[in-house]
Structure 1
Amino acid sequence: MIERWFKVRQQGSTPGREVVAGLTTFAAMAYILVVNPAILADAGMPRAALVTATALGAAVATLLMAFLANLPLALAPGMGINAFFAYAVCLGMGVPWQSALALVFINGVIFLLLFVSGVRERIVHAIPASLKAAICAGIGLFIAFIGLKNGGMVVAHPATLVGLGDLTSPPVALFSGGILVTCILVARRTPAAILCAIALISLAGFFVPDGAGGRITRLPETALAMPASLEPLFFKLDFGFVVREPLRALPVILTLLLVDMFDNLGTLIGVTKRAGLMDADGRVPNLSRALTADSLAAIFSSLIGTSTVVSYIESAAGVQAGGRTGLTGVTVAALFLLSLFFAPLILAIPGVAVAPALVVVGILMFESVTEIDLTRFEIAAPAVLTLLAMPVTFSISTGMGIGLIAAVAIGLGSGRSRENLKPFTIGLAGVFVLHFLEPLFLG
C-alpha cells in the first residue's frame, strides 16, 4: 500500500529513510508549536487553543500535500504571515482576530480559484523579482524587530522613538544570551537548532529571577494532558469587517495572497530542486496539486482558528536526510498530532525563550536581500523603501504598498524599468494608493 500510494522505491528511497526524513523535518520546524501561539496570543487569541490549532493545522495540511502531490513537504502556520496577522492587522489596524480569520479564509478561497483558473501566472509575474526579494527580507526585519521588542532589548524612548533596554535586567540578559546561543547553533548547522536553543534558554530560565520574586521558567502541573479544546477558535470567522470597510480589507487580503503565493512557490522550487525531483526543464512535479493543497490548507487554517498555513522551507532538512515522497510528510503529520498531548510543556516555555527564535528566523529570511541588484538605483530604491517601511511603520502591507508605488512611479518616470511594469503591476500599485488615500475619501 505504501509503494502504491507514494512510489517510494521508484523515487530511489526506502520507507525507513522516509521516516527518518520526517523526524528530521519535524525537529527542524517544531518550534512553530511554541512560536505561533505566542505571536497570535498577542492579538488576544487564547494561547492553549492556539497550540491545538497549530498542531492540527500543520498535520492536516501536511497530509493534504502528501496524498495530493506526493512531495516531501511539510506545512504549518507561516512565520511572517502570523506576525502580519497579529501585529499589523489585529493590533496595528485594530481589526478583531475573528475578522482577521475571515480575511484568511477569503485569501484561501481566492488562492484556490486563481490556481484553478490559471490567473496565477499574471499575479506571479506582476511583482518585480527585486520586490519579491525585498518583501521577504523586509518581513525578516519586521520579525527580528518584534523579537527584539518582546525580549526587552528594544524599548520605547520619548526622544528617539526607540532605545536600548536594560541589559542588566535578568530577563533581558537571558534573552540577549539566547540570541547568541541560537545564532551559534544555527551557524554550526546543529540539527533542530532553533528548537534546541528554545529548550536551552527555557532550562536556564529555571535559575534566572523574573523580577517578581519567582523564576522566569516554571514547571507545569503536568507534562501530559488532553489537547485543549478548539471551541474558542473553531468557526469564529466574522465577515463584518469586509462588508463594512472593503477599502481597508482589500490591501490586507492582497498582502496575504501574495505572501502566501510567493512563500509557497519559493519553497516548492527550493525543496524540490534540492531533492532532485525537478524535471529536465526545471518544472516542479505535481505543481498544480501542490498549490491546490496549499490553498485548501489556507482555507482550513482559518476555520480552525490560526493564520495561514504554508509550505515550510525547513522541509529541506528532511530532504537532506533522504526524504523524496509524501511518506516523509505523513511522518511529520503523525508527530504533530502526537505533540497535541504535550501542550502543558509547550505553554510553560517563557516568552524570552521564544523571542530569540524570532530574531534568528528574521535573519534567515533576510537572506533574500542578496537577490536585489543594489547597483541599479531604479531597482534599489523601491526595494530599500520596502525594507525600511515594514519595521518602521510596523506594517508589512504598508511596506509592500510603498515599494510597489515607488517601483511604478520610478519606472514610469525614468523609463528604465518598464520591462517590469506590466499593467497588472500598475493595478496593484493603484490598490495601495487608494488604501493610503482612504482617510481623504472618508473625509
Structure 2
Amino acid sequence: MEKFFKMSERGSSVGTEIRAGLTTFLAMAYIIAVNPALLMDAGIAPAAAVTSTCLGAGIMTILMGLFSNRPVACASGMGINAILAYTLVGMTGGDWHAAMAVIFVEGIAILVLVLCGLREAIMDAIPVSLRHAISVGLGLFIAMIGLADGGVIVANESTMVALGNVSDPKFIVGLVSIVASIILYAMNVKGSLLWGILIAVVAGIPLGVTQIPTGVVSFLDFSSFGAPFQADANGVMGIAKVVTTPTLLVFAFSLMMSDFFDTMGTAMAIGKQGKFLNEDGTVENIKEILTVDSAAAAVGGFIGASSITTFVESASGAADGGRTGLSSIMTGALFIIASFFSPLITMISSAATCGALVVVGFLMMGDVVDIDWTDLLQGFPAFMIVAGIPLTYSISNGIGMGFICYVLVAIVTGQVKKVKPLMWVATAAFVLYFLLV
C-alpha cells in the first residue's frame, strides 16, 4: 500500500488519508439528497435516482484514486443536473433517456479530447497569472457556496445578496460550523474541518436543522442503468434521438465546454490544497485526473446519474491532510455504503459543511499575491476571472470572461504574440459557448 500510494513521500499516513476521505465525503454528502430530487423531477424512479447517484459517485471516485493517486472525488455535478431536469428533458419531449444520452455523448466527446491531449494542452497554454486567478476565484466560489449553504448569505431582490436572518436555525448552525472549524484549525487540531462538520451536525439536532432519519436501509434499483440505450414509448432509443437531432448535439457541445473548464479550475483548487499544484500553476497527474473525469461524465449519462464530475468540495479533504488516492478510495467506499443507508447520510445538512468550505476558501486566497496587478494584460483578465467565477456562480463562465479579456487586452496593447495558439482556440470556443447558452 505504501509503495502504491506513496504516503510517506507526501507526508501523509493511512489514518490521515482515511480521515481526509471522510471529510470530503461529509462535505459532498448533500448530493445524495439533492441529485435524486432533481432526477425524480426528470422522471426517474426515486430508488433508481439514489442508486445511480451513490454508485456512480462511489465507483468513479475509487477509480480516480487508483488512476491519479490524488485526493480527488467525483459525483453528479450541480448545475448540469438542474439543466438536465428542467431544460434538457423538455427539449427531448419529456424523454429522460434521451436527456441522459446527451450527457453520454458529451462525456464521450470530452474523453476523446483528453486522449488526444488537447484538454491538457489548453491548460498548458493558459498564462500563469490566469492560473493563479482561477485558484483565487475558486476560493471565493467555494466560500460563497459554504456561506449560502449555511444561510449566512441569501438572495435579495434589492441588493442581489444580503446577510441571512441571524435568528434562523440554519444561520446558527452555519455560524457554529464556521466558528468551530476556524478555532480547531487555528489550534492545529488534526481533522479540524471534519470535527467542525460533526459539531455542527450535533448542534443542528435541537434546532431542527439536522433531521432525524425515519429509516435506515434503502434498497438498490438499477432500472436507470443503460439509459441512453433504453427506448421511449414509441420504441426510439435515447441515443438515436440525440445523434439525429442537431439542437441536441449543439446542447451537448455547450455542456462539454462547461465540463471542460469546470474540471480544469476544480483540479487547480484541489491541487493547491493537496500540494500537487506546481509554482507555474500546472497540476501534477492532470492527464489521469482529466481522463477519469471525462469518463465519469459518460458513465453518469449511461447509468442515469447526470454528468459525474470532479467536485470542488474535494479541497476540504485535501486541506484536512489528504495527499493520495487512498483518501479518494475512502470517499468512494462511503458513497457505495451510502447507497444502502442513504436515510442516515442525509442527516448531514449543507449548513453543517459551511465552515469547512469557508476555511478552504480562505486558504485558497494566497495566490492573489502572485498576480501582477500593475500589468494590465495580467491583472485585468485575472480580475475578471476572480470576480466572474463567484458572481456568475459558474467556474466556466468566469474562466471564459477572463480568456476573452486576455485576448482583447493583448490586441489593443500590441502584445498579440504573447497569446499562445491554443488560447485563441479556447477563446473562440468560449465566444461560441456564450452565444449558444
Residue 259 (structure 1) aligned to one of 259, 262, 273: 262
CA spacing shift, 1:182–1:288, aligned 2, 3 Å: closer
Are 1:295 and 2:298 matched, yes or no?
A: no
Q: Is the 8 A contact 1:390 1:396 kept in 2?
A: yes
SS in 2 for 1:348: coil
Aligned equivalents of 1:65, 1:124: Cα separation in 2: 19
Residue 73 (structure 1) aligned to one of 70, 76, 90: 70
Are 1:155 and 2:154 matched, yes or no?
A: yes
CA spacing shift, 1:206–1:269, aligned 2, 3 Å: closer
CA spacing shift, 1:146–1:48, aligned 2, 3 Å: farther
SS in 2 for 1:30: helix
Are 1:229 and 2:241 matched, yes or no?
A: no
SS in 2 for 1:406: helix
Aligned equivalents of 1:380, 1:250: Cα separation in 2: 30
CA spacing shift, 1:95–1:330, aligned 2, 3 Å: closer
CA spacing shift, 1:235–1:176, aligned 2, 3 Å: same
Q: TM-score, normalising length from structure 2?
A: 0.74
Residue 82 (structure 1) aligned to one of 77, 84, 93: 77
Residues 202-246 of structure 1: CA distance to partner in whole angstroms, max 9, x if unpaired? 2112222xxxxxx33232134x41455354687379677883265
Q: Letter of the aligned partner of 2:213 in structure 1?
A: P
Aligned equivalents of 1:266, 1:169: Cα separation in 2: 31
SS in 2 for 1:387: helix
SS in 2 for 1:415: coil
Unaligned runs of 5+ in 2: 91-95, 230-237
Deviation at 1:331, TM superposition (A): 5.6
Which residue is 2:235 aligned to? Answer: none
Q: Letter of the aligned partner of 2:18 in structure 1?
A: L
Residue 424 (structure 2) aligned to one of 399, 423, 426: 426
Show the 5 A alignment for 1:32-431. Answer: 32-37=27-32, 40=35, 43=38, 52-65=51-64, 69=67, 72-77=69-74, 82-85=77-80, 89=83, 94-96=87-89, 104-208=103-207, 215-222=208-215, 224-229=216-221, 231=223, 235=227, 243-244=246-247, 249-261=252-264, 263-264=266-267, 291-304=290-303, 305-310=305-310, 312=314, 314=317, 333-416=332-415, 418-419=417-418, 421-431=419-429
Q: Letter of the aligned partner of 2:177 in structure 1?
A: G
Residues 380-421 of structure 1: CA distance to partner in whole angstroms, max 9, x if unpaired? 1111112222332333333222211111000111124632x1
CA spacing shift, 1:251–1:332, aligned 2, 3 Å: closer
SS in 2 for 1:220: coil
Q: Letter of the aligned partner of 1:73 in structure 2?
A: R
Aligned equivalents of 1:357, 1:333: Cα separation in 2: 19
Aligned equivalents of 2:274, 2:130: Cα separation in 1: 22
Aligned equivalents of 2:109, 2:51: Cα separation in 1: 26
Residues 23-68 of structure 1: CA distance to partner in whole angstroms, max 9, x if unpaired? 234223222442333554675658876664454234323443465x
Aligned equivalents of 1:233, 1:357: Cα separation in 2: 34
Q: TM-score, normalising length from structure 1?
A: 0.73
CA spacing shift, 1:247–1:197, aligned 2, 3 Å: same
CA spacing shift, 1:316–1:196, aligned 2, 3 Å: closer
CA spacing shift, 1:258–1:177, aligned 2, 3 Å: same
Aligned equivalents of 2:195, 2:48: Cα separation in 1: 24
CA spacing shift, 1:169–1:399, aligned 2, 3 Å: same
Q: Is the 8 A contact 1:42 1:86 kept in 2?
A: no
SS in 2 for 1:202: helix
CA spacing shift, 1:65–1:400, aligned 2, 3 Å: closer
Q: Letter of the aligned partner of 1:151 in structure 2?
A: G
Aligned equivalents of 1:159, 1:269: Cα separation in 2: 36
Moved more, 110-119 or 33-42: 33-42
Q: Is the 8 A contact 1:412 1:418 kept in 2?
A: no
CA spacing shift, 1:27–1:438, aligned 2, 3 Å: closer
CA spacing shift, 1:20–1:383, aligned 2, 3 Å: same
Aligned equivalents of 1:152, 1:318: Cα separation in 2: 27
Q: Percent identity?
A: 29
CA spacing shift, 1:101–1:400, aligned 2, 3 Å: farther
Aligned equivalents of 1:152, 1:328: Cα separation in 2: 29
Which residue is 1:23 aligned to? Answer: 18
SS in 2 for 1:108: helix
CA spacing shift, 1:83–1:328, aligned 2, 3 Å: closer
Deviation at 1:191, TM superposition (A): 3.7
Aligned equivalents of 1:267, 1:257: Cα separation in 2: 16
CA spacing shift, 1:44–1:103, aligned 2, 3 Å: same
Q: Letter of the aligned partner of 1:429 in structure 2?
A: T
Q: Is the 8 A contact 1:23 1:331 kept in 2?
A: yes
Which residue is 1:3 aligned to? Answer: none
CA spacing shift, 1:245–1:363, aligned 2, 3 Å: farther
Q: Letter of the aligned partner of 1:112 in structure 2?
A: L
Deviation at 1:256, TM superposition (A): 0.9
Q: Letter of the aligned partner of 1:113 in structure 2?
A: V
Q: Letter of the aligned partner of 1:116 in structure 2?
A: L
Aligned equivalents of 2:256, 2:114: Cα separation in 1: 16
Aligned equivalents of 1:103, 1:360: Cα separation in 2: 36
Q: Is the 8 A contact 1:58 1:75 kept in 2?
A: no
**Count, aligned residues:** 407
Q: Is the 8 A contact 1:19 1:331 kept in 2?
A: no
Aligned equivalents of 2:70, 2:77: Cα separation in 1: 20
Q: Letter of the aligned partner of 2:255 in structure 1?
A: V
